[in-house]
Structure formats: structure tokens, C-alpha cells
Structure 1
Amino acid sequence: MDEIQHRFIEVQGLKLHVAEIGAGLNAVVFLHGFPEIWYTWRHQMVAAAKAGFRALAPDYRGYGLSDPPPEPEKASFKDIVADFISILDALSINKVFVVGKDFGARPAYLLAALHKERVRGVVTIGVPLLPPSPPKYHEYLPEGFYISRWQQPGRAEADFGRLSAKSVVRNVYTLFSRSDIPIAAEGQEIMDLVDESTPLPPWFTEEDLSTYGALYEKSGFCTALQVPYRSFWEEFAITDPIVKVPAMLIMGEKDYVLKFPGIEDYIRSGKVNEFVPDLEVVFLPEGTHFVPEQSPEVVNQLLLAFLNKHLG
């Protein structure tokens, strides 16, 4: 990955890190989820650049090498969207394809809704566009549901604080690559759901883990817990919820997100197409929540086919 370059762009007084490769006129921006950073997209960035695209992957404010906001507890999805537009302006990029993984799907679709003149198409992985009034999953799942736990100020901080940043990332990658929703029992914390002896997924190396661990050691988890987990119910002034650009959703058949109440039916029934009419849905039979890293060649082929199809 030595060919990937790194730069810092000042936005609202913060130095935001952007990884970049390729010099094509057609740009693709990759938006990560949690516990991810720009490095999540290493395979896709190299493939896109080789295919003639300019590939960029920012670390959100408070993630990876980007500066933390002065008040992490006030960070929001609005910040991610505003930072993204500022980065494009600083780089003199007018219009892009946006690829979002995990909670990165939300800012990807927010950009298509709020700044449609800047977006050529959207690809999301692991999470579809949710309806304007999404289900409140915590009302249907036990108290130990990981999102419910992490929304409680101080709860995840105490849980994570018992371990090194590297161990937290190891546990989350191990836990979230399974097909069941992470739910802790009463008196148990989310980090307790993983035994220390459990091996890493075969597609995630110790070198990968060390890279993630070092970057989360730098950034900590304060902003990462605020966005997305404590910003879920943030409101946006979206007058038209229908996405007007071409889109693709890539889902692993073994992704735990499919077990969120109503999600699989929402996707398979075509209900999601009411909000994203020009949507292509692809299911990967062995795919988990981390398919860009688990099956990079398959994801790269799908991604490049979509990009080339919608270049015009």
C-alpha cells in the first residue's frame, strides 16, 4: 500500500487526513464505518486507481489521523457531510462517486440528498438507505443490544477502557464478523462477548490489526462513540427523500445487520427501492459485515462495474 499518498486538509480549524491514489478525472470517495479508518479501503483504492479513477478516503474528524473536534460529545453527521464538501472544494473536485461502508452509508446518502449536484452515484456496503422514519431497533431487541449499550454515555468508555485500543479493535472485528447481532447478557459488557483466545478472521492479519490499533490509540474512541452511536436521531432538513442518482447495495448473506428487525424484508421485498429507485442489490453468499476486506476481489469487480457503467 506504499503507493497510497497522504495529505492533510484544514477544515474549520481541524487538519483532516485524506488518503489518495490515482490521478484520473473521475473521482471516487470512500467513507468508512466503525471501527474503521481510511485503511479499510486499501484494496478498493488500489483497484480503482489501476482502473483509471482518482480514489480518496478521508478519516472523519476524531478518527484515525484526523484531528478530533474540540467537543467530541457534540460531533454529528452534519459535520461529516460539511467536512466532505470542504475537502472536495479544497481539492477542486466538482463531482464524485461515493462509497460508504457500515454507518458510512448514512453520510453517503445524505450527500446524495443534500448535495446531489456533487454526487454521480452511491454504493453502500452492509447498510441500505433507511426509510425517513427508521425502526427504533432498541425497542425490539434486548437491553444488551450493542447499540443501546454504546448510546449510554460512559458505558462503552468504561468497557473499552479496560483494554488496549488494539484489543478493542480485535474484539469488534471478531464479534462483528459473525452472523448474530452482538447482544450482551445482564451483568455482561460487549467486550466480554469475545474470548481472548478467539483467532482473528482469516482475512484480517496481525499487521492489519496493528495498523488499526495504532490509529485508534492515537484518536481514542470519544468521537467514534458520538458518531454514529449517539447521533442516530439527528434530524436533517431533507424535503425530498427520494435518491435520484444510480446506487448499488452490497450485502453479505452472513452479515448480522440482516437480522435487525425488518431489515432483510425491507431489502428483499423491494421496499428500499421506493426511496432509491435506481438501486442494484447484490448479495454475497459467504459475506460478513466486512466484505471489502474479506472478499476484496469480488467487491472490487462489483464496484468497478458500477463505476464504469455510470461514467456518462
Structure 2
Amino acid sequence: MDQIQHNFITVRGLKFHVADLGEGSNVVLFLHGFPEIWYSWRYQMVALANAGFRTLAPDYRGYGLSDIPPEPEKTTFADLVADLVAILDHLGINKVFVVAKDFGVRPAYLLTLLHPHRVSCVVTLGVPHVPLEPRKYRESLPEGFYISRWNEPGRAEADFGRFDAKTVVRNIYILFSRSEIPIADEKQEVMDMVDASVPLPPWFTEEDLATYGALYEKSGFKTALQVPYRYGVIPNKNQ
């Protein structure tokens, strides 16, 4: 992984970290989810670079090594899409293949819909395309479901704040690696659903955890809780 270059690009008033590997005019843009960062795509970057592609994996604003916006609670998907366009413009890249997972699927689809001339194709993992309208499905979610809890301002902050960032990331990966949907009891917080003795999933190493933990220690979780869990603006072509 040492061959991956780490560039810092200042656009839209923030400095963004963009992992970059490979050469050529065919560019693949990888978009991460939560609780992830550019690092989630490291193996795919190497494989595609070896196949002749240039690969890019940015950290969103407020994630990883990218700057935290002045007001994280106001961050929207409109910002993420505008950031991606500005990064591509700065790098002089006109068109990309987009690969995204988890909530990264939403900015991938929005980038494709709003800037179709910039996208050759889009590949998504884990989340389907949904219409650009207010999400009413949250009204039917159980109160203890993690999305419901993290949507509530202040509750996740208090829950996460009892632990260091590394422990929060550890607990989330253990919860999300299970076959059952994590739903907390009425008087239980999401972080309390994981016993400290439970091991990490076999595909997630202590080295991985240390990397994620250190970067979330830097960024905190304010932007991550806002996007994707508390966003409120649908972007348009002028944003």
C-alpha cells in the first residue's frame, strides 16, 4: 500500500485528502460509507491500478484526513457532490467510473444524475437507488434501530462520547458484521449492545482498527452523524 499517494487539495474553502494510485485517462472514483474512510478501498485501488486504471479515493469533508467544515451540522449531500465536482475539476479530470458503497451510494447517484457528462458508469454496493424526495421510511423504523438513534441530535454524541474513537469504530463494525439488525432496547444505547470481550470480525484486523480509530479521533463524529443520518437538503444542478 506504500505506493498509494496522498494528495491534499484545497477547494470550496476546505482541504481535502485524496488517495491516488495509477496512471492513464481511465479514472475510477471510489466513495466510502460510514464508519469508513479512503482506506476502505486500498485493495481495490491497487488491483485496478495494476490493471491500468488511475484510482482516486477521497475522504469526504469532516472524514479522515480532510478538513472538518466550520459547521458540521449544516453539511448536506449537496456539499458532498459539489466537493467531488470541485476535486475533479482541480485535478483536470473530465469523466470517471464511480464505485460506491453504503451511504456513498447516494452521492454517487446524485453525481451521475446531476452531472451525467462526468460519469462513465456507476457501480454501487449495499444500498439501492431511491427517489430524490423526503425519506418517510424512517417513520416506520423501530425506536431502538441505530438509524433512529443516530438521527436524534445529541443522543449518539452522548453515547459515543463515553468511549474513545477506536472503541466506537470497533463496536460499530462488530454490530454491522452480524446477521441480525442491531436494535437497542428502550433503556439501552447502541454502544451498550457490544460486549468488550467480543472479537473483531475475522476480516477486520487490529491494524485496520488502529487506522480507523486514529483518523476518527482526528475528525470526530459530528460530520459523520450529520451525513448520512441527519441531512436535509437535496442538491440541484446549480450546487
TM range (shorter): over 0.9
Aligned residue in 2 for 1:19 = 19
CA shift digits 1:260-307 (9 cap, x unpaired):
xxxxxxxxxxxxxxxxxxxxxxxxxxxxxxxxxxxxxxxxxxxxxxxx
SS in 2 for 1:229: coil
Is the Cα–Cα contact under 8 Å of residues 184 and 190 in structure 2 kept in the other structure?
yes
SS in 1 for 2:124: strand
* Structure 1 outlier segments of 4+, above 2 Å: 131-141, 233-238
Q: Within 2, Cα distance between the matches of 1:61 and 1:132?
A: 22
SS in 1 for 2:227: helix
Q: Within 2, Cα distance between the matches of 1:111 and 1:138?
A: 24
- Scaled by the length of structure 1, the TM-score of the pair is 0.74
Aligned residue in 2 for 1:234 = 233
Q: Within 1, Cα distance between the matches of 2:124 and 2:138?
A: 23
Aligned residue in 1 for 2:201 = 201
Q: Within 2, Cα distance between the matches of 1:180 and 1:156?
A: 21
How much has 1:178 moved relative to structure 2? 1.4
CA shift digits 1:57-79 (9 cap, x unpaired):
00000000000001011011111
Is the Cα–Cα contact under 8 Å of residues 6 and 18 in structure 2 kept in the other structure?
yes
Is the Cα–Cα contact under 8 Å of residues 101 and 126 in structure 2 kept in the other structure?
yes
Is the Cα–Cα contact under 8 Å of residues 138 and 145 in structure 1 kept in the other structure?
no
Aligned residue in 2 for 1:241 = none
Q: Within 2, Cα distance between the matches of 1:58 and 1:64?
A: 9
How much has 1:138 moved relative to structure 2? 2.7
Aligned residue in 2 for 1:69 = 69
Q: Within 2, Cα distance between the matches of 1:106 and 1:191?
A: 26
Map 1:1-312 → 2, pairs under 5 A? 1-133=1-133, 136-231=136-231, 233-237=232-236
Residue 129 of structure 1 aligns with an amino acid whose one-letter code is H
CA shift digits 1:185-236 (9 cap, x unpaired):
10101111111111100011000000000000000000100011001x4334
Cα RMSD between the aligned structures?
A: 1.2
SS in 1 for 2:120: strand
Q: Within 2, Cα distance between the matches of 1:25 and 1:128?
A: 29
Residue 108 of structure 1 aligns with an amino acid whose one-letter code is A
SS in 2 for 1:197: coil
Q: What percent of counterpart residues are identical?
A: 73
Greater shift, 127-136 or 208-217, is seen at 127-136
Q: Within 2, Cα distance between the matches of 1:204 and 1:184?
A: 24
Is the Cα–Cα contact under 8 Å of residues 78 and 234 in structure 2 kept in the other structure?
no
Give 5+ residue unaligned stretches, structure 2: none
